[in-house]
Amino acid sequence: MKTVVYSISGESKGEIDLPEVFSNEIREDILRKAFRIISLSYRHPYGSSPLAGMRRVGHTSRPGMGISRMPRVSGSSRAVELGSTKGGRSPHSPRSSKNLVLHINKKEKAIAWRTAVAMTAMPEIVKKRGHQFSDELKFPVVVDDGINKINKAKDAKEFLENLGVWEDVERAKEKTKIRAGRGKMRNRRYRTPKSILIVTSSPSSLKAFKSLPGVDIAHARNISISKLAPGGQGGRLVIYTEASIKEMEGEQ
């Protein structure tokens, strides 16, 4: 399987052999399962203090006193400690000791990752996901390593315009909205749709792209399922560099 390699000016400069992972069988069901498990494992454990409601000393009266045998404060009729009493413990509160991490089989996770990569090579799936790009673009999109020399946002914009994918960045910018609910007060005021993912062997050299709406950068050896298929839906618009394609040859 081969694809076209584009230069910084957006012109074809030759072809490159692709790893077998791009022609892998599509298993969207396993991809959704893996994404759900990964996203649920991001949860932080929370809960009340184990001593909440249990910091009072309660004494129980013996039978035959004409009063229910509940722990009460000494010298008073006030009941304490029980979940049915005012100021008592919470009977079914969240426990911070609970393990919220879920697990998935290694083979299933590998199939999900290969599926997410293979779906980036199918233009019909990428377009179905909502991305906008030129109809003349060949998938998967592979560009020259000269992209690492771009260090200004205006040059990054010019490169994406030449490639025919700048329209997708504008889509992410136009659909950026204020988040509903409490999140707007917790340092996540705006919700921006996902746009282009750039896979490279040197992410530190592509800082100019990080300021663009919805654009993400990933290393070729650490491409997560969350970046390849946000929301568990595969077919993200991904731009690979030549060096990243060579590094992915061993990731089968």
* Residue 171 to residue 133: CA distance in whole angstroms: 11
Q: Which long-range contacts (CB under 8 A, 24 or more apart) does 175-183 make?
A: 176/213
Residues ≥6 apart with Cβ < 8 Å to 105: none
Task: Report the SS3 class of residue 174.
Answer: helix
CATH number attached to the domain at 2-43+109-250 = 3.40.1370.10
pLDDT in tens, 186-220: 999 999 999 999 999 989 889 999 999 999 999 99
User: Looking at residue 113, what is its pLDDT?
Assistant: 96
User: Looking at residue 252, what is its pLDDT?
Assistant: 56
* Residue ranges of domains in the chain: 2-43+109-250
Q: For 5-54, give the DSSP string.
A: EE-TTS-EEEEEEPPGGGGPPP-HHHHHHHHHHHHHTTPPP----TTTT-
Confidence of residue 251 (pLDDT cuts 50, 70, 90): low
Mean pLDDT of all residues belonging to the chain = 93
pLDDT in tens, 132-180: 999 999 999 999 999 999 999 999 999 999 999 999 999 999 999 999 9
SS3 content of the chain, % helix, strand, coil (to 5): 35, 15, 50
What phi and psi, each to the nearest 5 degrees, are found at residue 126?
A: -65, -40
User: Looking at residue 248, what is its pLDDT?
Assistant: 87
**Exposed e or buried b for every residue in 67-88, given b needs 16+ CB within 10 A?**
eeebbbeeeeeebbbeeebeeb
* Residue 215 to residue 165: CA distance in whole angstroms: 11
Within a 10 A sphere around the Cβ of 248, how many other Cβ atoms? Answer: 20
Which pTM was predicted? 0.85
Residues ≥6 apart with Cβ < 8 Å to 123: 133, 137, 139
* Residue 148 to residue 242: CA distance in whole angstroms: 11
